[in-house]
Homo-oligomer: A and B are copies of this chain.
Amino acid sequence: MEKLNQYIEENKERFLNELFELIRIPSISSEAEHKPDMYRCAEKWKALLLAAGADKAEVYETEGNPVTYGEKIIDPALPTVLVYGHMDVMPVDPVDLWHTSPFEPVIKDGKIWARGADDDKGQSFMHAKAFEYMVKTGNLKCNVKFMLEGEEEIGSPSLPKFCRDHREMLKADVILVSDTSMIAPDVPSITTGLRGLAYWEVEVTGPNADLHSGIFGGAVANPINVLCKMIGDMIDDRGHITIPGFYDDVLEVSAEERAKMAKAPFNLENYQRSLGIKAVHGEEGFTTSERTGIRPTFDVCGIWGGYTGEGAKTVLPSVAHAKISCRLVPNQKHDQIARLFKEYFESIAPEYVQVKVTYLHGGPSYVCPIDLPAYKAAEKAYEEVYGKQPVPVRSGGSIPIIATFEEVLGIKSILMGFGLGADAIHSPNENYPLEQFFNGIRTIPLFYKHFAESVK
């Protein structure tokens, strides 16, 4: 640990400069214009891995964005860790809410401020540097493989095929991922569950052109009115989603487990204050952490239609759109939910409009058992750095590819996240505390050590 701290101290500035070079590439996967940036990012990662000590590293083409793979095999008899991360980031709008330029990282108040500072450039980069430390100081006790993809934020459409096509190359004993958060700097935690996801775009069309709302208003259905009504009807007064069959496969969590979950530190008043809301709101009969951890959701992520410019333009628009997502919980099947939603949305559409439902992406949920040797190794590593045993938590977020890894490669993932709730990932002013960044680099080599020992 002494040696590790010294290494970090000596290389600190270089680490940050290298990370900043990565962050400056605006690798927004949902915007086609950034396609070249995905390649720049992939090449940058290849160079980073080789410089850190990988035997080989390659950029692989996929049907979508490229994947960078690298490895260092020291002894086939030793356990192998596969590190997964993603080099793509979320869009930056609304860009006017950023206090600094999203792709020009700055350090202020002990944090790195930039899109990707946490999710996932900052977090995945910790693994490159922990790897570098282990190689350069002769402390590497496992074989290591790296796989960095460029489509995580759009649901990893190409990675399942990449995994199927490279099963042998990706063979490992465990997958290590830093793309989640912990409860607080003084309350370390490891994510043991992830919600699944289903995401649609819907379109409601009324008349074949925008109409004068005076001449036609009242007689021709307004597609925005209709869309609002349809969306409004999809959640009832008790916060239940009204799609028939939606809850059929939801695993009910036992009263005992719910009681255990309730012991995680949570202050409703602080939570509400930090979000600027007077009250929380969700499904009746569940607490806030249950609502985000073990229950599915229905959120309109975006809506648009008609006149949205300055001032007052009267119009009866032709079309209204919405982007809708559901977070899913263990045992719900995203493709089945996709179908149920589409059928229901189409069934409640009145005859005076036409609707179109496009399923944009989805992914299954994931659970990691806490008696897994790799989980135990992570637990010990956190304890040594943070001085406390980490709490296992079920996160509300989704990393659909994690469930796919289990399905396709047959490997469990350990979600060693070092983000914090305040990091504003996916939002303006994303940030990542330097302390978490360097603690991550400290924790990772300890995991390798304990994991190698546990498998001996």
Q: Say yes or no: is A210 at the interface (Cβ < 8 Å to chain B).
A: yes
Contact A302 B317 (CB under 8 A): yes
A314 to chain B, nearest CB (A): 5
**In this complex, what residue of B is CB-closest to A155?**
B312
Contact A300 B224 (CB under 8 A): yes
Stretch of A140-148, A252-260, A393-401, A446-454 on the interface side = A393-401
A428, B322: Cα distance in complex, Å: 23
Q: Contact check: which of B229, B310, B327, B351 meets A214 at CB < 8 Å? A: B327
A237 to chain B, nearest CB (A): 10
A375 to chain B, nearest CB (A): 21
Per-residue 0/1 for A310-324: is the Cβ within 8 Å of any B Cβ (1 yes, 0 no)? 111111110011110
Most buried by B among A155, A311, A315: A311
Please indicate the chain B residues that have their CB under 8 angstroms from the CB of A309 in the complex.
30-31, 91, 93, 302
A290 to chain B, nearest CB (A): 9
Contact A275 B211 (CB under 8 A): yes
Q: Contact check: which of B275, B291, B320 meets A207 at CB < 8 Å? A: B275
Q: Say yes or no: is A436 at the interface (Cβ < 8 Å to chain B).
A: no
Within 8 A of B (CB), among A312-345: 312-317, 320-323, 325, 327
Contact A229 B225 (CB under 8 A): no
Per-residue 0/1 for A189-222: is the Cβ within 8 Å of any B Cβ (1 yes, 0 no)? 0000001010101000011111111111111111
Contact B427 A311 (CB under 8 A): no
Q: Say yes or no: is A262 at the interface (Cβ < 8 Å to chain B).
A: no
The complex is assembled from copies of this chain, and their number is 2
Q: Count A interface residues, CB 8 Å.
A: 103
Contact A276 B208 (CB under 8 A): yes
Contact B277 A360 (CB under 8 A): no
Q: Say yes or no: is A232 at the interface (Cβ < 8 Å to chain B).
A: yes
Contact B310 A32 (CB under 8 A): yes
A199, B306: Cα distance in complex, Å: 14
* CB contact under 8 A between A302 and B302, given known A212-B397, A233-B232, A427-B210: no
Q: Say yes or no: is A304 at the interface (Cβ < 8 Å to chain B).
A: yes
Q: Contact check: which of B281, B322, B428 meets A210 at CB < 8 Å? A: B428
* CB contact under 8 A between A228 and B231, given known A30-B310, A215-B421, A312-B361: yes
Q: Contact check: which of B199, B230, B306, B398 meets A303 at CB < 8 Å? A: B306
A307 to chain B, nearest CB (A): 4
Contact B208 A275 (CB under 8 A): yes
Contact B280 A219 (CB under 8 A): yes
A262 to chain B, nearest CB (A): 14
Q: Say yes or no: is A425 at the interface (Cβ < 8 Å to chain B).
A: yes
* CB contact under 8 A between A314 and B206, given known A217-B297, A297-B217, A307-B91: no
A282, B220: Cα distance in complex, Å: 7
Q: Say yes or no: is A426 at the interface (Cβ < 8 Å to chain B).
A: yes
Most buried by B among A232, A288, A289: A232
Q: Say yes or no: is A411 at the interface (Cβ < 8 Å to chain B).
A: no
Q: Say yes or no: is A21 at the interface (Cβ < 8 Å to chain B).
A: no
Please indicate the chain B residues that have their CB under 8 angstroms from the CB of A153 in the complex.
313
Please indicate the chain B residues that have their CB under 8 angstroms from the CB of A94 in the complex.
210
Please indicate the chain B residues that have their CB under 8 angstroms from the CB of A206 in the complex.
277
**In this complex, what residue of B is CB-closest to A31?**
B310
Contact B323 A312 (CB under 8 A): yes
Q: List 19 A-B contacts (CB under 8 A).
A: A31-B309, A199-B314, A212-B427, A214-B395, A214-B398, A224-B300, A224-B302, A228-B231, A229-B231, A230-B232, A232-B233, A278-B351, A280-B352, A300-B306, A303-B304, A303-B305, A311-B360, A313-B426, A314-B325
Given A225-B232, A277-B353, A301-B312, 7 further pairs, Cβ under 8 A: A212-B427, A215-B397, A221-B280, A281-B352, A302-B308, A307-B323, A314-B325
Can you list the 9 inter-chain pairs with the closest CB atoms, starting with the nearest? A232-B232, A214-B397, A208-B276, A30-B311, A302-B306, A218-B297, A229-B232, A221-B281, A224-B300
